[in-house]
Structure 1
Amino acid sequence: MIQCPRCGIQVTELHPLDPDLVSKLQAAGETNLPPQVCAGCISDLRRTVATSSGGVLMAQERAREQHRLQLWKSRVQLIKKARMSMGSKLYSDAAISYEKYLKILDIVFEVKKGEKLRPEAFKESARTTELTVVASVYWDLLRIYDTNEKYQDRMLNAAKQLAMFIQFTPIYPDIIKKAESFAKTARNPNIVKQFLKMSDKERPRCFIATSAFGPQSLEVQELRVFRDFTLRNTSWGRRFIALYYKHSPAIACLLDKQPWLKPAVRAILRLMIKCVS
């Protein structure tokens, strides 16, 4: 019988420690390791390494989360700086600040390389208001990149992103009106017209809610967000949406003909919004 130099237990044989295991143990703070130990000690040391590795991973994840939080907070100053630059007609400076803001969103929402930021990233109710900010950023970038022919690709990307985000914001009708006017003076009117077509195609109709509240109302926006970020993610939700679009135009038409019904419909819809919020 041989006594293990680490635990002192009498065993039949000792086993040499693997150099890789030794280096990991030393990194975890284990010192004075004997060259050979019993099988039980090897198992114990491996558990120590596993536990230590898990702790390191958790610490790294906490550090990454803290970094994302700091970036998320810093976005406010970037937006303020960009809008001050826009007001002073320093368009290059504004574009740089806006692009930094969008890069922060890519990091915070872990957008993969080659992919684009999408509205679904903002499905948490606390962040849905950011959709309007994002849409306004893309609108400013679309106009900034129109000032130089070499930025046509960037302008087109801004147009595509704007068309995708704007449908979830209350500034939709205002931006559409501005874009229609901008198309008459833009250097790249075709891109602006493409945006108008894309935004009309992307924007699904909320017939009953639009008839009851009006297209620019906050209630319509909240119902649209619930539809696209919640209902569309379930099979029963998609069936409900299909059923809604089948029958709601007729109901909306009735509301337009009988406006005295709208207060009751608004009350019902507000109760629904309260339940799903």
Structure 2
Amino acid sequence: MLEDLSTTPQLTQRFSVLVRKIWNPRAFKAHVSPHELLQEISLRSSKRFTLTEQSDPVDFLSWFLNNLHLALGGSKSKPGSSIIQQIFQGKLKVESQLITARADAGDRLRFEDADVKTETTRFLVLTLDLPAAPLFQDEIDRNIIPQVPLTTILAKYDGVRAQERLNTRVRYRLLHPLPPYLLFHIKRFSRNKFVAERNPTIVTFPVRSLDMGPYVEPSPALAAPGEPIWYDLVANITHEAIRSRDDSVEGEAERKVWRVQLRDKSREAWFEVQDLFVESVASETLFTKESYLQIWERRVMGRRKKTAA
């Protein structure tokens, strides 16, 4: 809001104007329109993202953050070269090892001492994989939707659990320091040669005090081992599949509907937004929908007050 962006591309200028309008204490109207920014996004993306159709939130946010980064003078090779990367970018340690042909089925994901390749990569969005949904259900369980805690799918980044990728076993661990904001993409959609599939599993999560400490490589120079690293949820984008009859194909067609749930810090209240529709929502019910993209804010720990002996 305070920087002079008059010489930067139109994308940053339009976004800057919108943010200033939102936070203007002397605004004449109680609402602002993002129309000019959306027009610029449509133009810059060659109509990949338009005003008339909802797009995949992860695709859009990845495109928007990367284009803002470059428009602000950020470098493709130098980390932390813009405010975008300083806020959202983190580091990830990736260990990989080839799976030998003689490996037993039970030992395919067991790391051996030799030939472990380690590399460090950077991320803006962390992808979380859902467990496979059951293929068949009996009459009693036919309406039951499976649930999984957020901490269970976050275990992908604990540096212990190995996963199989083609002919390689891999494991991941987050590195200090974690960014001020973490973006979680809960991967619900997959596509094979024949059909696109959606995983309806519900992810349960706390609204406050998510401890990311267990998923971070210990670094005594930056943080005490075992000390919690608290994050609080600030936004949650959900997916809803609405079925409608489609005469062009047999059966019903699914239409994707995206909603965003936002926390109002001033009142500690939550609101659900879809286009111009805004309604209050209880924080205890946020996880009951198909969460797709989450934004978490790192809690700044204040200085501990000294207590008298």
TM-score, length basis structure 2: 0.23
Hey, which of these two has a bigger chunk of helix by percent?
1
Hey, which of these two has a bigger chunk of strand by percent?
2
Higher relative contact order (CA 8 A, sep 6+): 2
Larger radius of gyration: 1
